[in-house]
């Protein structure tokens, strides 16, 4: 049996080119970055954080227990491992954004401590200012507001008590006469004339 050496050489060349192309494709796939996107179901804000491996598998304890934490869950798709998906957790301390305001002593102003920074808040000393300074901070004084009526009856007319608070008058609004229910002077005169005759 005879061989065509020239044709065999061409086949060898095609095989070599194919192998080089395959190697180049595999190298290009290996060089692709891991695709990452946010896992919305697992990304959340936690007011009082507590780290466990059961809750955040594969995560590293950020030592933020008890603090407000934004948990970012990044889902990755690895092209080099049959597009397998994994979740990587990142933990952001939100304490500098979610802080408790404390006040120092003072009459006309208060100092708010926010993550080490002091912000002065002036208090208007006017008598009608409902904001008051207490040992625990600032509060709104509601002692001068009108109180709602307990066990009020729908459809009753509201009245005022001696202290200016609302009260249930017991009067049914539908029973109150309006101007439409009262005859005018002209109508009354016309009716009297009809009954007794017009005045001469």
Contacts of 36 (CB under 8 A, 6+ apart): 74, 75, 76, 77, 88
The predicted structure's pLDDT at residue 63 = 92
Query: Phi-psi category of 2—alpha, beta or left, where left has phi over 0 and alpha has psi -120 to 50?
Result: beta
Give pLDDT tens digits for 111-145: 565 556 666 667 777 777 777 777 777 788 887 78
| pTM for this predicted structure | 0.36
Tell me the per-residue pLDDT of 150-194, one tens digit each, with 9 for 90 and over. 888 998 888 888 888 888 888 888 887 777 777 777 877 888 777
Which residues fall within 8 angstroms of residue 184, CB to CB, at 6 or more apart? none
Main-chain phi, psi angles of 121, to 5 degrees:
-115, 115
Binned at pLDDT 50, 70 and 90, residue 7 comes out as low
- Cβ–Cβ under 8 Å, residues 120 and 111: yes
Alpha-carbon distance values, 119 to 104, 112, 130 (Å): 11, 5, 21
Confidence of residue 53 (pLDDT cuts 50, 70, 90): very high
Tokens describing residue 120: 């002065």
């Amino acid at each position: 049996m005879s061989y065509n050496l020239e044709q065999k050489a061409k086949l060898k060349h095609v095989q070599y080119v194919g192998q080089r192309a395959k190697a180049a494709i595999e190298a290009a796939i290996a060089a692709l970055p891991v695709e990452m996107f946010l896992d919305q179901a697992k990304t959340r804000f936690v007011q009082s954080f507590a780290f466990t491996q059961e809750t955040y598998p594969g995560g590293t304890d950020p030592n933020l227990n008890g603090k407000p934490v934004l948990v970012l869950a990044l889902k990755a798709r690895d092209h080099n491992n049959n597009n397998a998906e994994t979740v990587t957790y990142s933990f952001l301390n939100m304490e500098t954004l979610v802080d408790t305001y404390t006040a120092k002593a003072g009459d006309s102003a208060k100092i708010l401590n926010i993550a080490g920074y002091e912000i002065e808040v002036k208090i208007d000393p006017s008598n009608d200012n409902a904001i008051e300074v207490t040992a625990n901070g600032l509060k709104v004084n509601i002692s001068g507001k009108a109180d709602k009526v307990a066990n009020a009856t729908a459809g009753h007319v509201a009245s005022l008590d001696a202290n200016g608070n609302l009260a249930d008058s017991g009067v049914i609004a539908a029973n109150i006469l309006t101007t439409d229910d009262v005859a005018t002077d002209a109508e009354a005169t016309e009716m009297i004339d009809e009954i007794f005759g017009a005045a001469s």
